[in-house]
């Protein structure tokens, strides 16, 4: 629990790792190691693991998320999975606009915006990723990049719908690189995100949207990063694949 009374959130992003039997084993290790007063835990697992993990999670406090979804609920979209399908099997969250989706699969703010709106309408809570590249940071345009992304990604999303939305700030250069953001830079970008949300929806709504940090979080650096007032938790990739490491983060947050 934070000073503000908000519950902290830690999302584990397993990316393309763990087949169903391994996923079930990792889920059980995590679930049995959680302390009673820990933060809210959301595990975002590969599509093929969702049913297994959602069934295991049904009797626990752990929430389950996908790592992507389509922007239509049905139709001729070979290889895609819709928000309605996810909802149907007990999935309640979905990561959208992750930098790896943008880098390897050409996803844009426009397609992600469509997904965000449909995910909310289909009963899912989107975890919407924003973040600057190293070039943008070096050029000093991080603030502009983040506020434009927020505007584009939330275009058409109404204020009451923000109750079911999480923002994840993930500098592209920090994801999977082992290079973490400086404390002061994170404080600054969080303020930019709150100000962007506030200019669109007003300060009260803006203050209630959870903002997570993601990018090379581990059990050594998370306390410094996640103890910032404006940060409501973390999006953890690599460190979420090892139960002992992930539990150190969630049980102390
Ligand atoms: P990382 O990944 O913790 O391995 O940097 C974070 C993410 O991609 O969400």
Render pLDDT for 144-167 as a digit per residue (tens, 0 to 9). Answer: 999 999 999 999 999 999 999 999
Q: What number of other Cβ atoms are within 10 A of residue 59's Cβ?
A: 8
Q: Look at residue 3 in the predicted model and tell me its pLDDT.
A: 55
Query: Is residue 93 among the annotated active site residues?
Result: no
Ligand 1 site: residues with CB under 6 angstroms? 13, 170, 175-176, 214-217, 235-239
* Entry field: residues in the chain: 253
pLDDT band at 38 (very low <50, low <70, confident <90, very high): confident
Query: Is residue 29 among the annotated active site residues?
Result: no
The CA distance from 110 to 211, in Å, is: 21
Q: Hey, which residues does 114 pair with through a beta bridge?
A: none
Q: Look at residue 96 in the predicted model and tell me its pLDDT.
A: 98
pLDDT band at 226 (very low <50, low <70, confident <90, very high): confident
Residue 28 in contact with residue 52, Cβ under 8 Å?
Answer: no
pLDDT band at 6 (very low <50, low <70, confident <90, very high): confident
> Atom 2, ligand 1: which residue's CA is nearest?
237
Nearest atom in ligand 1 to the alpha carbon of residue 168 is 9
The CA distance from 10 to 19, in Å, is: 22
Give the rounded percent of residues in the chain with a pLDDT score beyond 70: 98
- The model's pLDDT over 66-83, given as tens digits with 9 standing for 90+, comes to 999 999 999 999 999 999
Residue 65 in contact with residue 11, Cβ under 8 Å?
Answer: yes
Does the pLDDT at position 212 exceed 60?
yes
pLDDT band at 5 (very low <50, low <70, confident <90, very high): low
**How far is ligand 1, taken at its centre, from the CA of residue 75, in Å?**
32
Q: Hey, which residues does 95 pair with through a beta bridge?
A: 127
Alpha helix (H) ranges present in 106-242?
A: 109-121, 134-138, 142-153, 183-201, 203-208, 222-226
Q: Give this prediction's pTM.
A: 0.96
**Average pLDDT rounded to a whole number, residues 15-41:** 95
Q: Which of 70, 98, 107, 136 is catalytic?
A: 98
Nearest atom in ligand 1 to the alpha carbon of residue 15 is 8
Question: Across all residues in the chain, what is the average pLDDT?
Answer: 95
**How far is ligand 1, taken at its centre, from the CA of residue 13, in Å?**
7
**Torsional class of 150: left (φ above 0), alpha (ψ -120 to 50), beta (otherwise):** alpha
Residue 167 in contact with residue 149, Cβ under 8 Å?
Answer: no
Looking at residue 242, the DSSP 8-state letter turns out to be S
Q: Which of 100, 132, 136, 170 is catalytic?
A: 170
**How far is ligand 1, taken at its centre, from the CA of residue 14, in Å?**
9
Q: Look at residue 42 in the predicted model and tell me its pLDDT.
A: 98
**How far is ligand 1, taken at its centre, from the CA of residue 181, in Å?**
13
Q: Look at residue 4 in the predicted model and tell me its pLDDT.
A: 63
Looking at residue 124, the DSSP 8-state letter turns out to be -
Q: How far is CA 104 from CA 37, 55, 108, 181, in A?
A: 38, 31, 11, 23
pLDDT band at 126 (very low <50, low <70, confident <90, very high): very high
Q: What number of other Cβ atoms are within 10 A of residue 195's Cβ?
A: 16
């Amino acid at each position: 629990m934070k000073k503000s009374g908000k519950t902290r959130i830690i999302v584990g992003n397993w990316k393309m790792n763990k087949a169903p039997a391994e996923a079930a084993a990792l889920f059980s290790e995590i679930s049995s190691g959680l302390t009673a007063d820990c933060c809210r835990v959301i595990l975002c697992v590969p599509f093929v693991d969702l049913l297994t993990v959602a069934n295991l999670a049904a009797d626990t406090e752990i929430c389950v998320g996908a790592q992507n979804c389509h922007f239509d609920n049905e139709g001729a979209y070979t290889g895609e999975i819709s928000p309605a399908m996810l909802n149907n099997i007990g999935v309640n969250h979905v990561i959208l606009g992750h930098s790896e989706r943008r880098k390897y699969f050409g996803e844009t703010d426009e397609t992600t915006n469509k997904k965000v709106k449909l995910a909310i309408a289909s009963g899912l809570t989107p975890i919407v990723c924003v973040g600057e590249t190293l070039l943008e940071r070096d050029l000093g345009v991080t603030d502009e990049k983040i506020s434009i992304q927020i505007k584009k990604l939330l275009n058409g999303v109404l204020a009451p719908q923000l109750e079911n939305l999480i923002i994840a700030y993930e500098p592209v250069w920090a994801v999977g690189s082992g290079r973490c953001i400086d404390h002061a830079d994170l404080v600054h970008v969080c303020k930019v995100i709150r100000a962007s949300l506030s200019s669109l929806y007003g300060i009260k709504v803006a203050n209630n949207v959870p903002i997570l940090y993601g990018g090379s979080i581990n059990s050594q650096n998370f306390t410094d990063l996640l103890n910032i007032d404006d940060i409501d938790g973390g999006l953890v990739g690599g460190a979420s694949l090892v139960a002992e490491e992930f539990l150190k983060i969630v049980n102390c947050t």
